[in-house]
Structure 1
Amino acid sequence: MTDETAAQRTSRRISRRGLLAGGLGLLAAAGGAGGWALDRYVVDHVEVSGASGMVATNVVAAQADTGGTATASGYTSDTATISIETVSTGTGSDRVTYFVADVQVSDATIVRSAFAGDRFGENIIANPSEIAASVDAVLAINGDYYGFRDTGIVIRNGVKFRDAGARQGLAFYADGSVRLYDETATSADELIAAGVWNTLSFGPGLVEDGRVLSGIDQVEVDTNFGNHSVQGNQPRTGVGLIGTNHLLFIVVDGRSTGYSRGVTMPEFAQIFADRGAQVAYNLDGGGSSAMVFRGGLVNNPLGKGQERGTSDILYVAG
């Protein structure tokens, strides 16, 4: 693989969101407004390099077990058991295709996060499979695309990277539990002191206490430029908890007639609830939705089989 030039990287970021495809070109011609938009949504803003390798020193993380046994639909090792199921429902224009990874781990700290390019900051992206390969992930899904915004609490692998609470978040604890929480009612330091290992900041929360949450079909995740709503039939990525150290990673394909229409937010939540999730949370979706297993792309984003760059992944070490 050849290195990208700066111009190629910029072009790829512009195509990262449909909102950037034409709008920023017009803004650039307008002068000051264009400069702001390009700086905010396209130009790299690196805050921390070597970020993915940072792991909290007060938590003993399990070492990756490279002796696991893998098949096309699963993986078993001393530290993780993963089974992957493909589900198709409906026919014709109402067909929905999604992928369920049932994950059980012996130590919650092998469920980790990694950043694109091993750097934390805004507008830094890479394909999920590339990020997964960089950390030898067994299984990975796209994360919350934290780099598209400058708010939210970002704790990854026990380390604080951002403390700017703005929305409902999801917290993974080192004891194997997972909880929804209000970012605006706490701080990153308080969460770490309480045993939080990772946070995700996108949403909305889908399931709590085993029940689908009401009003999730009305939520706007962001009000920033070009990302106003996550409603309607969409490709989706989410994560849920069945019980201690027992997780569900689910990716729904969409925007592809005859293959998968995508799902509404309540439909997505019901998939988790039907599989016994006590807690579930929506992550970045659309063309970003991706599941990677043993280096290969499991799903078919937008029916085109092509990944789209994102800021981060949630993954399972071996």
Structure 2
Amino acid sequence: MTQRDRYNFGKILSVFILLLLTIPILIYGVRQNSRPPRIDETRSLFPGIAYERQALSSPRPIMVHKISIDLTTPGIRPFVNPGITSNDAKNSPRNRETIARTVTEFVDEFDLQLGINANFFHPFREETPWDFYPHAGDVVNALGQVTSNGKTYSAAEEGWSAICFLAKNRVVIDEKGICPAGTEQAVAGNDLLVKKGQPLAPPDYEAVKDKPYPRTVIAIDKTGKKLWLVLIDGKQFQYSEGMTLAETSAYLQKLGAETALNLDGGGSVTIAIQTPKGAKVLNSPIQTRIPLRERPVAVQLGFFAQKT
């Protein structure tokens, strides 16, 4: 190879390396620009289900996504993803309870009108964009009670509160995490944020590390007939940097919550709705630090509603 050939090869190699470095930056930029705009929005999604997006600027940039559900509306019915079937169990490790899915996969698979992430779960790992667990289809365990169509496949555990849906859309949040007999659907979270209409301070073990974070919260009003799903985006500088637990509790009290339960947060925070083109994410998930990338999670809570 002549010196000129080596020079040309070096130039080509430099351009190739530059392209390899530029492509991830371009992809990241496209995802950032595809996030929901920082503009307030209110609209009806389905009969009895309304959506509100709030772009807050204080105490930091925060994007709040709030779904209000009137449980008395005909056609509205909660649904939790089922556990592993007998056929699945043959090919899964012992004691694993369910199969990880993204929220959009959940909404599409069960033909729901909307869905959110629910329980904390394990095992979990997030190292790099390509090194994480679980992927969609991997088997995992939920923390706290999970009941789907009257069948409980993850038992109540100490330290995990539960929201329990009974017949005729009656709903209760049990602080001890044990749902009453007749529960048809149930999911669990860790901390009550509001109790008897009053905001609760984070427990001591949480208070020392209470920082802005992405959050998924479910709340009910005093009558038990109105339900709120509140999702707060986070980990996205100058777009949405999350809320502390204390801030979230105060927000929920102002909303009118009688009781509110904190569900799995961080990169799990996702809300999706059904559209004519399939399930669509309404917020900005942040799996493996990549905006709009969904995390496969163990448990999802969804709702059927009349289609508009």
TM-score tier by shorter-chain length is 0.5 to 0.7
Alignment correspondent of 1:296: 280
Which of 70, 74, 87 is matched with 2:44 structurally? 74
Q: Distance in 1 between matches of 2:105 and 2:209?
A: 26
Q: Structure 1's 151 and 126: CA in aligned 2 closer, same or farther, altered over 3 A?
A: closer
Moved more, 142-151 or 169-178: 142-151
Alignment correspondent of 1:245: 225
Which of 181, 199, 221 is matched with 1:212 structurally? 199
Residue by residue over 1:237-287, the C-alpha shift from the partner in whole angstroms, topping out at 9 and shown as x without a partner, is 110002323100011001111101101011112221111011111111111
Which of 175, 179, 193 is matched with 1:181 structurally? 175
Alignment correspondent of 2:78: 111
Unaligned 5+ runs, structure 1: 1-71, 221-228
Residue by residue over 1:79-113, the C-alpha shift from the partner in whole angstroms, topping out at 9 and shown as x without a partner, is xx11101101116x921111000011237981121
Moved more, 119-128 or 235-244: 119-128
Alignment check: 8 A CA contact 1:168 1:180 kept:
no
Supply the RMSD in Å over aligned alpha carbons.
3.0
TM-score normalised by structure 1 residue count: 0.64
Aligned-pair distance for 1:150? 6.1
Identity of aligned residues (%): 21
Residue by residue over 1:178-210, the C-alpha shift from the partner in whole angstroms, topping out at 9 and shown as x without a partner, is 223214xx5xxxx442x3233322221111111
Alignment correspondent of 1:236: 215
| Partner amino acid, structure 1, of 2:262 | N
Alignment correspondent of 1:155: 147
Give matches, 1:26-105, under 5 Å: 73-77=43-47, 81-90=48-57, 94-105=60-71
Q: Distance in 2 between matches of 1:124 and 1:147?
A: 11
Residue by residue over 1:50-90, the C-alpha shift from the partner in whole angstroms, topping out at 9 and shown as x without a partner, is xxxxxxxxxxxxxxxxxxxxxx932334xxx1110110111
Aligned-pair distance for 1:290? 0.3
Q: Structure 1's 134 and 230: CA in aligned 2 closer, same or farther, altered over 3 A?
A: farther
Alignment check: 8 A CA contact 1:131 1:312 kept:
no
Moved more, 250-259 or 163-172: 163-172
Aligned-pair distance for 1:129? 0.4
Alignment correspondent of 2:115: 140
Moved more, 241-250 or 164-173: 164-173
Alignment check: 8 A CA contact 2:80 2:148 kept:
yes
* SS state at 1:83 partner: strand
* SS state at 1:73 partner: strand
Give matches, 1:233-312, under 5 Å: 233-242=212-221, 243-294=223-274, 295-302=279-286, 304-312=291-299
* SS state at 1:132 partner: helix
Q: Structure 1's 217 and 283: CA in aligned 2 closer, same or farther, altered over 3 A?
A: farther
Alignment check: 8 A CA contact 1:206 1:269 kept:
yes
Q: Distance in 2 between matches of 1:166 and 1:181?
A: 10
Unaligned 5+ runs, structure 2: 1-41, 90-95, 124-140
Aligned-pair distance for 1:211? 0.8
Structure ID, larger Rg: 2
Q: How many residues align?
A: 229
Alignment check: 8 A CA contact 1:141 1:289 kept:
yes
Residue by residue over 1:23-68, the C-alpha shift from the partner in whole angstroms, topping out at 9 and shown as x without a partner, is xxxxxxxxxxxxxxxxxxxxxxxxxxxxxxxxxxxxxxxxxxxxxx
